[in-house]
């Protein structure tokens, strides 16, 4: 069981952490320019795209859960149909996003307050990167399909190609062509399409015989589409609440001033780096939980859940220790602005606590996705946000300022894991397999 978990988790970890590493490079490129404007423009633009793309994270998560169960059942035809349904929905959503870009920007700038110069640069960043939507969402479907088939090497390959290409493009545009936030946007767009085309090529060449099982009428079968949208609807709602909560963190930071926004943006990268790392085990949970449900093996299902939770705790401890002792050195890599570094020191304790408080929520997300129990995920997110995060923020922020924001955010992360643990027996272990 341990080897099975690590075989899936390790490639996912390498794939996942390449994403925040690239984000750190982007922030470092902007953080070493002559003002905070471009750094904050990337922060604002990043929040908008996080909200957009993570809102449609069901295209990966739902695809993984359904594919893993079909894989466990040995149903290759349904596996191919799941991929085609997910790609179809991906392209439809991408088209809608491109057509709605002006409305998205208008609403976003009403919610995310900042200076006119920052918003102007953020708008330029957005207006370029939005055209990567078809590739970005299509990659969600492709990666979810491979993970569901217990193949994490291809998503790793795609992530490495995308992120190294993105890094190269960004360095070219920013350092050589002397572009700023717009250069980072172009780098992301080109890298996403490169990865998407490679992903499609691998499927076409490696799974040629499987693709012959595809059937247009079966792809649009009403019962299967209803099941697909039923689960993904709850994942979508859950993700909207999650991204709203994360966006609220940035919005609240901006209201506390430009310096606090810059500090929290940089410190938040520590949380993102850990989340992408621990998500490697969450992705393994998605694949293995779905497979054992498909195989109808409840004993193995319980074992894999316990093993992956143990791995989550084991990973979070060294992260907390590392963040506590080396936060100043790490943040100095991202910026050389002395006022930002000095201000950040007061909040190092909170980022050190994040891994221990949050790992259970990440792992349980993978478990519930593999079991296609999205309703429980949705409800836990509502309770943690509306009954924990927001009330605590409005209670503590007037008294503690930015410290109150961090305490409320930690409570939000911890409450999610606690609720999913309390509901595990009902929704996972005692469900009919």
Q: What is the pLDDT of residue 335?
A: 78
Q: Give per-residue pLDDT as tens, 386-415.
A: 999 999 999 999 999 999 999 999 999 999
Residue 94 has pLDDT above 70, yes or no: yes
Query: Which helix (H) or strand (E) element contains residue 1?
Result: none
Phi-psi region of 151 (alpha: psi -120 to 50; beta: other; left: phi over 0): beta
> In Å, how far are 56, 245, 248, 311 from 91, measured between CA atoms?
12, 27, 28, 36
Q: If you average pLDDT over residues 50-61, what whole number do you get?
A: 80
Ranking 43-47, 78-82, 198-202, 398-402 by mean pLDDT, the lowest is 43-47
Ranking 10-14, 101-105, 389-393, 421-425 by mean pLDDT, the lowest is 10-14
Residue 31 has pLDDT above 70, yes or no: no
Under the banding of pLDDT at 50, 70 and 90, the label for residue 142 is very high
> Among candidates 313, 317, 337, 314, which has minimal Cα distance to 325?
317
Contacts of 424 (CB under 8 A, 6+ apart): 305, 364, 367
> In Å, how far are 13, 21, 116 from 153, measured between CA atoms?
11, 19, 44
Higher pLDDT, 225 or 271: 271
Higher pLDDT, 342 or 335: 342
Q: Give per-residue pLDDT as tens, 302-336.
A: 999 999 999 999 999 999 999 999 888 888 887 77
Average predicted confidence (pLDDT) for the chain: 86
Is 421 in contact with 368 (CB distance < 8 Å)?
A: no
Q: If you average pLDDT over residues 169-193, what whole number do you get?
A: 84
> Hey, which of 22-36, 186-200, 225-239 has the most confident mean pLDDT?
186-200
How far apart (Å, rounded) are the C-alpha atoms in residues 277 and 275?
Answer: 5
| pTM score above 0.85 | no
How far apart (Å, rounded) are the C-alpha atoms in residues 331 and 338?
Answer: 11
Q: What is the pLDDT of residue 69?
A: 87
Q: Which residue shows structure tokens 């593999």?
A: 370
Q: What is the pLDDT of residue 1?
A: 64
Q: What is the pLDDT of residue 287?
A: 87
At residue 33, what are phi and psi to the nearest 5 degrees? Answer: -80, -175
Residue 88 has pLDDT above 80, yes or no: yes
Q: If you average pLDDT over residues 219-236, what whole number do you get?
A: 81
């Amino acid at each position: 069981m341990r080897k099975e978990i690590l075989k899936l988790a390790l490639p996912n970890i390498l794939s996942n952490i390449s994403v925040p590493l690239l984000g750190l490079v982007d922030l470092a490129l902007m953080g070493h320019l002559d003002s905070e404007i471009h750094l904050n423009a990337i922060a604002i633009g990043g929040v908008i795209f996080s909200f957009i793309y993570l809102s449609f994270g069901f295209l990966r998560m739902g695809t993984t859960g359904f594919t893993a169960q079909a894989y466990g059942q040995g149903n290759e035809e349904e596996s191919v149909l799941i991929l085609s349904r997910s790609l179809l929905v991906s392209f439809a959503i991408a088209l809608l996003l491109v057509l709605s870009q002006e409305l998205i920007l208008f609403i976003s700038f009403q919610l995310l307050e900042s200076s006119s110069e920052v918003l102007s640069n953020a708008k330029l960043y957005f207006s370029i990167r939005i055209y990567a939507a078809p590739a970005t969402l299509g990659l969600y479907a492709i990666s979810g399909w491979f993970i569901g088939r217990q193949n994490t090497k291809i998503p790793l390959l795609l992530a490495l190609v995308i992120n190294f290409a993105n890094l190269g493009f960004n360095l070219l545009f920013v350092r050589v062509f002397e572009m700023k936030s717009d250069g980072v946007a172009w780098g992301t767009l080109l890298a996403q399409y490169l990865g998407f085309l490679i992903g499609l090529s691998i499927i076409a060449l490696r799974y040629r015989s499987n693709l012959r099982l595809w059937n247009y009428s079966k792809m649009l079968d009403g019962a299967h589409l209803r099941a697909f949208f039923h689960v993904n609807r709850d994942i979508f709602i859950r993700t909207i609440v999650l991204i709203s909560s994360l966006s609220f963190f940035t919005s609240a930071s901006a209201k506390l001033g430009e310096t606090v926004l810059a500090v929290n943006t940089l410190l938040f990268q520590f949380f993102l780096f850990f989340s992408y790392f621990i998500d490697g085990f969450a992705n393994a949970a998605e694949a293995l939980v779905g497979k054992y449900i498909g195989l109808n093996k409840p004993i193995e299902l319980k074992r894999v859940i316990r093993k992956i939770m143990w791995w989550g705790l084991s990973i979070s401890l060294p992260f907390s220790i590392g963040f506590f002792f080396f936060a100043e050195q790490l943040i100095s890599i991202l910026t050389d602005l002395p006022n930002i570094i000095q201000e950040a020191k007061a909040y190092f304790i909170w980022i050190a606590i994040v891994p221990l408080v949050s790992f259970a929520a990440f792992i349980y997300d993978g478990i519930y996705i593999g079991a296609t129990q999205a309703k429980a995920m949705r409800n836990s997110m509502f309770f943690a946000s509306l009954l924990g995060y927001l009330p605590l923020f409005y209670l503590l922020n007037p008294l503690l300022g930015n410290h109150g924001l961090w305490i409320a955010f930690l409570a939000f992360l911890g409450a999610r894991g606690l609720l999913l643990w309390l509901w595990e027996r009902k929704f996972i272990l005692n469900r009919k397999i």
